């Protein structure tokens, strides 16, 4: 059984390496209770709902079955617990593409991010809709099976057209090879293709598909668990962020006081110095310092640069822009000096008054950015770790 609280605890303590290594050290069986939401996706009318019924072992007229048929389009995401595998939920999705009424329910109602694994159901040829789905799934770094349904119809059509050359095995193999080739062209490594008829779930590759899913189950659940961790620890990061923000006042007051010293430009220099120091402290606090990042990168088999590439808080340019108001105080000070004043009272007051709140907000933003970066780094690291062999 996976202990999420333990993971959150490590994240709160800023020890991302311990958080990730602790999860990776768990045996596959530890993920048995993780829910796996499988989205059944594909073109309109490709046979998605019929596929779900075949998986559930239900006839189309069973009241528990998914609605199917050329006149009954699926318009809402519906979920069906898969009876033979624990915590596996099959989700029947609206078809991708526009219906004859111009309605595109898929685009309006479906967020593919909510699902852990995908079964793309296609019938007839491999089309751009399938390629688009493949790309969307690959972008999320998730996995899929490609199910080519309605094999019975293909066989029947060939039998009618070329009865003398009819060879069931050869036809099915040809369809499978075609699908595999098309998927490989879309940069899918080792695609898993199953040729089925939803009308005959005991024939063709249907039993193989069920066996493969059973065999892959713990690995898929582990992947689902790893990929869900960054959003699970969002509230933890939020709590940490708030705790860090409570300590900002002191630095902001320091910045205001230094800015009031009658040296034009000192306000900018001091604020930048305090900012960089504060940010270094935040990195240490959240576990994003160089040493921690190097250890995390090594753990998940990536380079440190790959993890740093997702960090937005490393970019200093926007911070410099935030300090532009410092120019106002400095300008007033210079004006006062040039009028022969020995002490630029207005410039000092203005400079301090500008620096204190602007530093305060700048540091607040810094904490938020570092917290967001922590989530991004974790996501990247867990995605990389998930690809490593168990």
Q: Considering the rule CB under 5 A, would residue 49 count as an interface residue with Mg ion?
A: yes
Residue 52 or 193: the one with the smaller Cβ distance to Mg ion is 52
Residue 107 or 316: the one with the smaller Cβ distance to ligand GTP is 107
SS3 content of the chain, % helix, strand, coil (to 5): 60, 10, 30
Residue 74 Cβ vs Mg ion, minimum distance, rounded to whole Å: 3
Task: Answer for the pair 66, 40: CB distance below 8 angstroms, yes or no.
Answer: no
Residue 77 or 299: the one with the smaller Cβ distance to ligand GTP is 77
Residues with Cβ within 8 Å of 46's Cβ and at least 6 positions away in sequence, in order, are 95, 121, 122, 123, 149
DSSP code string of 254-272: HHHHHHTSS-TTHHHHHHH
Which of 206, 186, 209, 65 minimizes the C-alpha distance to 136? Answer: 186
> Which residues on adjacent β-strands are paired with residue 6?
none
Q: Given the rule CB under 6 A, which residues bind ligand GTP?
A: 42, 44-50, 68-70, 73-74, 95, 149-150, 152-153, 197-199
Residue 153 or 353: the one with the smaller Cβ distance to ligand GTP is 153
Q: Considering the rule CB under 5 A, would residue 74 count as an interface residue with Mg ion?
A: yes
Per partner kind, with CB cut-offs from 5 to 8 A, the member of ligand GTP, Mg ion, none near residue 292 is: none
Residue 34 or 46: the one with the smaller Cβ distance to ligand GTP is 46
Per partner kind, with CB cut-offs from 5 to 8 A, the member of Mg ion, ligand GTP, none near residue 302 is: none
Residue 69 or 207: the one with the smaller Cβ distance to ligand GTP is 69
Residue 94 Cβ vs Mg ion, minimum distance, rounded to whole Å: 7
Which of these segments, 69-77, 210-218, 256-264, 339-347, binds Mg ion (CB under 5 A)?
Answer: 69-77
Separation between Cα atoms, residue 93 and residue 112, nearest integer Å: 10
Per partner kind, with CB cut-offs from 5 to 8 A, the member of Mg ion, ligand GTP, none near residue 197 is: ligand GTP
Per partner kind, with CB cut-offs from 5 to 8 A, the member of Mg ion, ligand GTP, none near residue 89 is: none
Task: Answer for the pair 339, 276: CB distance below 8 angstroms, yes or no.
Answer: no
Per partner kind, with CB cut-offs from 5 to 8 A, the member of Mg ion, ligand GTP, none near residue 310 is: none
Residue 149 or 213: the one with the smaller Cβ distance to Mg ion is 149
Per partner kind, with CB cut-offs from 5 to 8 A, the member of ligand GTP, Mg ion, none near residue 359 is: none
Which of 278, 265, 380, 287 minimizes the C-alpha distance to 319? Answer: 278
317, containing H or E segment:
helix 317-322
Q: Considering the rule CB under 5 A, would residue 123 count as an interface residue with Mg ion?
A: no
Residue 51 Cβ vs ligand GTP, minimum distance, rounded to whole Å: 7
Per partner kind, with CB cut-offs from 5 to 8 A, the member of ligand GTP, Mg ion, none near residue 199 is: ligand GTP
Separation between Cα atoms, residue 299 and residue 304, nearest integer Å: 11
CA atoms within 13 A on the CB side of 277: 12
> In the numeric block, which tokens belong to residue 312?
């937005």
Per partner kind, with CB cut-offs from 5 to 8 A, the member of ligand GTP, Mg ion, none near residue 45 is: ligand GTP
Residue 95 or 344: the one with the smaller Cβ distance to ligand GTP is 95
Please report which residue ranges of 13-162 form alpha helices under DSSP H.
16-24, 48-56, 105-109, 128-139, 151-161
Angstrom distances, CA of residue 330 to CA of 128, 206, 269, 318, 325: 60, 76, 12, 20, 9
Residue 37 or 365: the one with the smaller Cβ distance to ligand GTP is 37
Which of 173, 188, 172 minimizes the C-alpha distance to 131? Answer: 188
Residue 96 Cβ vs ligand GTP, minimum distance, rounded to whole Å: 8
Residue 60 Cβ vs ligand GTP, minimum distance, rounded to whole Å: 7
Separation between Cα atoms, residue 253 and residue 251, nearest integer Å: 6
Residue 214 Cβ vs ligand GTP, minimum distance, rounded to whole Å: 21
Residues that bind Mg ion (CB under 5 A): 48-49, 74
């Amino acid at each position: 059984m996976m202990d999420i609280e333990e993971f959150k605890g490590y994240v709160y303590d800023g020890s991302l390496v311990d958080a990730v290594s602790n999860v990776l050290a768990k045996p596959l069986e530890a993920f048995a209770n993780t829910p796996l939401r499988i989205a059944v996706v594909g073109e309109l009318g490709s046979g998605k709902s019929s596929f779900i019924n075949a998986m559930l072992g239900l006839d189309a007229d069973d009241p528990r079955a998914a609605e199917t048929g050329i006149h009954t389009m699926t318009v809402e995401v519906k979920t069906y617990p898969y009876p033979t595998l624990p915590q596996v939920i099959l989700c029947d999705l609206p078809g991708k593409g526009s219906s004859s009424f111009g309605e595109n329910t898929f685009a309006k109602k479906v967020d593919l991010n909510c699902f852990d694994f995908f079964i793309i159901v296609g019938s007839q040829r491999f089309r751009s809709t399938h390629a688009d789905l493949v790309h969307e799934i690959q972008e999320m770094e998730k996995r899929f099976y490609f199910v080519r349904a309605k094999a019975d119809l293909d066989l029947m059509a060939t039998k009618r057209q070329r009865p003398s050359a009819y060879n069931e095995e050869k036809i099915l193999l040809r369809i499978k090879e075609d699908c595999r080739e098309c998927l490989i062209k879309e940069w899918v490594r080792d695609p898993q293709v199953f040729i089925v008829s939803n009308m005959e779930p005991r024939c063709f590759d249907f039993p193989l598909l069920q066996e493969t899913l059973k065999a892959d189950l713990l690995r898929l659940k582990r992947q689902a668990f790893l990929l869900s961790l960054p959003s699970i620890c969002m509230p933890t990061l939020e709590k940490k962020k708030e705790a860090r923000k409570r300590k900002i006042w002191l630095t902001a007051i320091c910045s205001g006081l230094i800015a009031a010293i009658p040296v034009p430009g000192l306000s900018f220099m001091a604020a930048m110095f305090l900012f960089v120091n504060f940010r270094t402290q935040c990195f240490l606090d959240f576990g994003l310092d160089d040493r921690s990042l190097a250890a995390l990168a090594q753990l998940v088999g990536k380079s440190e640069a790959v993890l740093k590439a997702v960090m937005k808080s490393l970019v200093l340019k926007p911070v410099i822009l935030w300090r532009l108001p410092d120019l106002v105080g400095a300008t007033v000070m210079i004006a006062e000096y040039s009028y022969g004043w020995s002490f630029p009272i207005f410039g000092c007051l203005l400079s301090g008054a500008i620096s204190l709140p602007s530093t305060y907000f700048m540091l607040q933003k810094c904490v938020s950015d570092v917290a967001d970066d922590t989530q991004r780094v974790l996501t990247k690291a867990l995605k990389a770790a998930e690809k490593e062999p168990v």
